[in-house]
Amino acid sequence: MKILPPSIESHHLGAANESGNLTFFVLFLIMMLFFFVVAAFIEKYKPQYGHETCYTILFGVSLSLILYAVTGDSSKPGFAFKSNFFFNFFLPPIIFNSGFTMYKKTFFKNLGNVAVFGLVVTLVCFVIYSIFGWLLIS
């Protein structure tokens, strides 16, 4: 078996892919830092309007528009959603932050509602999806 050196074109595509990954990770870190800074700001100053999620979404949309304006060419491939990356790296800090800043008295006071939405609604959705899935298959 003979191993051939990579062509210049494939090397160029690899470098472009590395650059895209680096850009993605930098933007990811900026978004996460923004989320945590806004959460700390809201916790300290308790603004009258808005929630940290709303501010993070607005910042993400603004950052996406700026990125689109800078790249300019809509034919270039953008960032692809990678579920493995999202569930392993992006979601856990958000869940941890939400659980860490949650008021425990309020949570235990609403434990019945949490159980209803968590268990009963999940069961209802399972039954509905099962019925529709069975109807579509048969």
Model pLDDT for residues 104-132, shown as the tens digit of each residue: 898 899 999 988 888 999 999 999 999 99
> Residue 9: in which H helix or E strand, if any?
helix 8-45
Global pTM value: 0.46
- Residue whose pair of structure tokens reads 């990811």 in the numeric block: 28
47 Cβ neighbours under 8 A, 6+ residues apart: 41
Residues 61, 31 contacting (CB under 8 angstroms): no
In the chain, where the domains are located = 8-102, 104-138
95: Cα within 13 Å, side-chain hemisphere? 7
Q: Which amino acid is at 68?
A: Y
pLDDT of 12? 45
Model pLDDT for residues 67-87, shown as the tens digit of each residue: 778 877 655 556 667 788 888
Q: How far is CA 85 from the centre of its chain?
A: 9
Q: Which tokens is 43 given?
A: 């916790």
pLDDT bracket for residue 16 (50, 70, 90): low
Q: How far is CA 69 from the centre of its chain?
A: 22
pLDDT of 40? 83
Residues 60, 31 contacting (CB under 8 angstroms): yes
55 Cβ neighbours under 8 A, 6+ residues apart: 38
